Amino acid sequence: MRVFDVTKVRSIARCPKFQYIQNKGMNLNQNQINKIGKDLQSKIKGTILFDDFSRGRYSTDASIYQIKPIGVVLPKDNYDVVSLVEYSQKHDLPLLARGGGSSQCGQTVG
Each residue's pLDDT expressed in tens, for the chain with a length of 110 residues: 444 444 444 444 445 566 655 555 577 888 998 999 999 999 999 999 999 898 888 887 777 777 788 888 988 888 998 999 999 899 888 888 777 666 666 666 65
Q: Which helix (H) or strand (E) is 38 found in, with range?
A: helix 30-41
Can you give the pTM of this predicted structure? Answer: 0.72
Where residue 92 falls (left for φ over 0; alpha for ψ -120 to 50; beta otherwise) is left
Q: 3-state DSSP call for residue 9?
A: helix
How much is the pLDDT for 40? 94
How much is the pLDDT for 39? 94
How much is the pLDDT for 90? 92
How much is the pLDDT for 21? 56
